[in-house]
Structure 1
């Protein structure tokens, strides 16, 4: 009988065998669907009803290849914690193939937690908590308007795994992305010493992600310039919502500008520019305020990997790459100003220097008094309508004169209250709420996860439920929140 599953293409596997390795996802003893993202399924023309069948669930785990599919583990290198690692690659994941999107272009269909590959550093399996975490965080980022990979599904495998001495239920994540081409993919291709392979990879990435760019005689330069622009927008977006990626190495950054790998990430509660959440970031390399600096550093590694195809002479290629990367600072500042212009409710008639000044003064006040980042920006909508009680109440009495002076100056700029209410979120994935929901899911209760996802998918509209009230308020504890990579 013909499979009800639609076909996948194998463009990556067929075009780049040097950057792929065959993989056979392990069979799961008792797969059970924990979450299915109908919105993502429709975007890549997959029938949710089919995916809910036994055949569909086993497709989501990678065990049941769709017609035309050849699962492969992608090979890449990367700079982790500033140190070059020549071979990283998919140690527990497989690219199943590609699907056309309703919105245009193609998307990778990718599974994570499938068991060992030839590049595994641990056993290759994953557990319920981290996989549902990626689902939650991806949906939140998408709803906040930031480019991101998204979960198509999370499937419990029925095979418990030992993690940190504890037996936990196993799970597989099925993820959709514009592609999985990482900065580290370019680094690995460059390390093979085959300029033609690198040129083909650049041409493929340009066609996939930046088809409108006129590459002309210098496609590698056009590609790098496009990635720099996307990275500037991506990083400014993170800074605008208080997102800390947590492990911003070159193998965890995509050339598309989509956010990937929601492991030791978190959102700010009380504003702290030096916030670090990852349990292994002992020196604050990937702290919140350092993300623009680190992204620029990562782009420098990408540029040097491309040096051999940016010019005939490698030294000239590095100089060209450095020149392109040097534009990141200006582009990031422009993007950051745009983000905070919107967060302040100011229109285009207000000059950029004024926007930057009021944003910087606000952030300084938030940092000095550890005020909730998300709540402050949301409360500006009420303040713009003449009631600044909530904004003032977030600060201690000692800050009253400084806050009043800031509010007076900002109000004189005639901020748009409606814009503020539709662009500053009420709800973000509060770290303690996410943790509570994941603990419940691991214990077998999925209702908190599903309720949380529904709130996060519409973050600008206030709701009146118990979870909504808790999600809108920061925790009162002073105990620092800690995240883990989940491997």
Structure 2
């Protein structure tokens, strides 16, 4: 069993694609690196021992200071629509793919350094990442996995006192993140706009052969690929909306063809429920507001489908895109019924949900706390823990009467319903103030809060003794936290 990074089995399938898909790029070393965080859960996916965190060679690899035999470092080319405007060339501006490791189960994981220096796609940037943003990505990718939402993973954070300049001078960091693939919608767009249709076909064949092999047996494999990406994206949007996750930068270059949550920047989870919440302070128009995410996903899918048009039938493509909305609504409805404790769909469930969201918005009620407490709802009782979340208690009472009547239609034992609701409504999420606390301590070289949060968020639905403060309502100072594209 492999113990360190140098003992993994590297295959590097993406590197076998021709040079027009990527550029060879060696990482730029960082001086005097030190370990900030190491994730044993992600390490287990590779077959790594936890002790790999302390292996000097592995630490150098995780920083980008050493390249191992079997690695073929490269940065990928892609384009994309950023805030609705097409940008003809983007690419991995601060990401370098080291290689692809195959574990003992035959699973493939690409290992990518984020923040390891300039690449041909840096666009006058320095190719570096700062400690602040690295901690946020590390924690959120693992928090999303704990919630059961498809995502890239994070193995480690390596830090250095090397200065990196954003709004102010900050210290550098490198995240080693993992994914079956980092191919995105924009990976196809770049070749569509360059009129290189053979490259589109080659990349589509690569994706089908390695990630959607069942599509190869379909009558129209490329149409089947589009169908799969639409279905996975619809499911992902239902996941995001159900837990109150805001991505912040849903550009087409940040959309995974595998339906994964990709590229954590100015993300956020809802505190007080606000359907129009904009978590990215760089998003001045509110394009990527919380309630717009499903619509933007569909817009992005149109861009992806357009890039595949040389391989597709136009009429079939239009029909495929029309299926997104019903797929999303079905998946989202299912998740909301689970949150509310409904085993089956009721005739007036949508009306009840709309009424609830209106009450939550009106009262600026915390989204996560409300749904977690809802599991303890008792028909006919005052339900003070829920009622007290509302400034105007009567607005809750009005809805609670309708909710109690709906629960009366359920055949499940109330204890079974409560247990199911606790499995659908997390107690712990990565609120911005929790990440900010970990960041502030890490700046002082105390990394214990990063590990505490990682462990906590790996089991967000569980009652964890002594950790209730992490499930409490956010403090007032949390409202002053600002995240932007530099985050």
Aligned residues of 2:13 and 2:100 also touching (Cα < 8 A): yes
CA distance in 1, matches of 2:19, 2:48: 27
CA distance in 1: counterparts of 2:164 and 2:324, whole angstroms: 43
CA contact 2:265–2:484 (8 Å) conserved in 1:
yes
Match of 1:359 in 2: 353
Q: Which runs of 5+ in 1 are unaligned?
A: 312-316
Which residue does the alignment assign to 1:138? 141
Q: Report which stretch shifted further, 292-301 or 386-395.
A: 386-395
- Shift, 1:324, TM fit: 1.2
- The answer as to 2:388 corresponding to 1:393 is yes
Q: CA deviation at 1:399?
A: 1.6
Runs of 5+ unmatched residues, structure 2: none
Find the aligned partners of 1:450 and 1:147 in 2 and give their Cα distance: 21
Deviation of residue 454 (structure 1)?
1.6
Deviation digits for residues 171-216 of structure 1, max 9, x if unmatched? 0000001210000001113234332321221122123332334543
Q: Is the 8 A contact 2:11 2:102 kept in 1?
A: no
Asked if 1:303 is matched to 2:310, the reply is: no
Q: CA deviation at 1:150?
A: 1.0
8 Å CA contact 1:184, 1:250 repeated in 2: yes
1-side partners of 2:348 and 2:10: how far apart?
A: 51
Conserved? CA contact 2:37–2:450, under 8 Å? no
Cα distance in 2 for partners of 1:62, 1:464 equals: 39
8 Å Cα contact 1:392/1:403 also seen in 2: no
Q: Could you list the per-position Cα deviations for residues 254-278 of structure 1 after superposition, in whole angstroms to 9, with x for gaps in the alignment?
A: 0101101111000000000000011
- The offset of 1:386, in angstroms, is 7.2
Structure 2: distance between partners of 1:370 and 1:205: 44
Partner of 2:73: 71
4+ residue segments displaced more than 4 Å: 101-104, 384-387
Tell me the TM-score normalized by structure 2. Answer: 0.93
Distance in 2, Cα, partners of 1:247 & 1:344: 29
| Contact kept in structure 1, 2:8 and 2:103, CA below 8 Å | no
Q: Matched residue of 1:175: which SS? A: strand
Change (3 A) 1:385 1:422: farther
Cα distance in 1, alignment partners of residues 115 and 264 from structure 2? 14
CA drift of 1:100 comes to 2.3
Q: Which residue in the other structure is 1:97 paired with?
A: 99
C-alpha RMSD over aligned residues? 2.1
In the alignment, the residues of structure 1 paired with residue 103 and residue 361 of structure 2 have an alpha-carbon distance, to the nearest angstrom, of 42
Residues 400 and 179 (structure 1 numbering): CA distance in 2 closer, same or farther, change over 3 Å?
closer
Within 1, Cα distance between the matches of 2:185 and 2:423? Answer: 34
Instruction: State TM-score, norm by structure 1.
Output: 0.93
CA shift, 1:333, in A, is 0.4
SS in structure 2 at match of 1:73:
strand
Equivalent residue number for residue 53 of structure 1: 55
Residues 297-352 of structure 1: per-residue CA shift (max 9 Å, x gap): 000000001001114xxxxx3x432321111001000111111111111113x34x
The answer to whether the Cα contact below 8 Å between 2:79 and 2:190 also exists between their aligned partners in 1 is yes
